[in-house]
A = this chain, B = another copy of it.
Amino acid sequence: MLTNRQLLVLQVIIDEFIQTAQPIGSRSIAKKEDVSFSSATIRNEMADLEEMGFIEKTHSSSGRVPSEKGYRFYVDHLLSPFRLSKSDLNIITDTFEKEMVEFEQVVQKSAQVLSNLTNYTSIILGPEVFETKLKQLQIISLSAHTAVAILVTNTGHVEHRSFSVPAKIRPSDLEKMVNILNERLVGVPIIQLHEKLSTEIALLLHSYMEDVDLAYQYLQSAFFDEQQVKLYVGGKTNILMQPEFKDIEKIRSLYSVIEQEDEIADLLRAATGGLKVSIGQENKIDAMQDCSLITATYSLGDNQLGTIALLGPTRMEYSRVISLLNVLSSRLTKTFHSWY
C-alpha cells in the first residue's frame, strides 16, 4: 500500500495539475507549505508512484501528470469534502427559489446553473415517467383529415402529436374513442400505457366500433414511437475553454457524440443511485476517452427520476464538482418531492 508521504505527494500532484494543467515537477512540490522533504526525496517517491501506475511522464525528463489510475485513486480515497463558496450556494438557492412548476423548466435551469458554475458541460436526463400518471387524453380535430392528440400527465407534462385522420374515420368515432380511453386510462402510470393500450383496450375498442384499428395505430405511433426522455445540455461551449481541447478533431468528435444524444442518453440512463465518476477510458464511448463524466441521480421516493451529469476533461475539479452535483441532485429531489 501507499505510505502517508506517497499519499501526500500524489494528492499534491493531482490537486496542482487540476489547477494548472501543467506537468508537476519535484521542486514545485517541495516548495509547498505542507511538504517538508527535499525535492530529491520527492523524486524518489514519484518514481515509486510512477512504477505503481498512479502518475506518468509526458516525456523522459518531464514533470509528472496523473494517470487515469491516479485520478481513480484520487476520487476514491483522496477527496477531501469540498466547502462550496457562499456565492456558489447562493446562486443555486436563488435558482430554486424562483417560482417554477414545470419539470422541464427546473431541469433546464439546473443544467444551466451547473454549467455556469463549473465551466464544464452539463447534461441532464429526465425526468423519467415512472411515477407519472395519465391525467387526461385529448384529440382535437384541426380539419377534416388532421387532428392533434394531446396527453397530459399529473406532473404537468404535456406531450402532443399531430396526425392525419384516415377518411374512413369520422370525428364522432374519434370522440367516442377518446372518451373510452379516458375512462379506462386516466390514472394509469405512463409507463404502463403502452402495454395497456396494446392489450385490453384494443379489444375493448374493437367491440365498440369498427375501423378502430387504424385510428388506434395512429394513436399508438403518436406517443410511443420516439423516446420520451429528453436530454438537456448546458454550456456546450465550455469545452472549448479547456486547454486539453485545443485540437479541433477532438472537439468535433465529442460534439457529434453530444448532438447524437442517444448514446449519451443510454449512458446516463444506465447510471444508478448515488454519484458515479467515469474517468477516461472507463467511458465506453470513443470520443470520451479523454473526458470524465460524473453522474448523480435524483429521485422521487424510491423511484429514480433522472440523471444529472457533468462532462469535462479527465483533469476535472472533482472535489468541487462532486459537491455541486450532490447539492443539485438533492435539490432536485427535494423540489420534486415538494410537488407531491
B-binding residues in A (CB < 8 A): 99, 101-102, 135-136, 138, 140, 142-143, 146, 148, 150, 152, 154-156, 158, 160-164, 236-237, 240-241, 246, 248, 251-252, 255-256, 259, 339
Contact = CB atoms under 8 A, between A and B. Distances in A.
Nearest to A136: B140
Contacts of A102: 161-162
Nearest to A234: B259
A255 B237 CA distance: 7
Counting every copy of the chain, the complex holds 2
Contacts of A339: 146
B148 A152 contact: yes
Contacts of A101: 146, 162-164
A287 to B, nearest CB: 12
Nearest to A148: B156
Contact of A240 (B140, B143, B252): B252
A241 B102 CA distance: 38
Contact of A152 (B150, B237, B246, B259): B150
Given A163-B101, A236-B255, A240-B255, A156 B135 contact: no
Contacts of A146: 101, 156, 339
Contact of A140 (B142, B143, B152, B251): B152
Contact of A162 (B156, B246, B259): B156
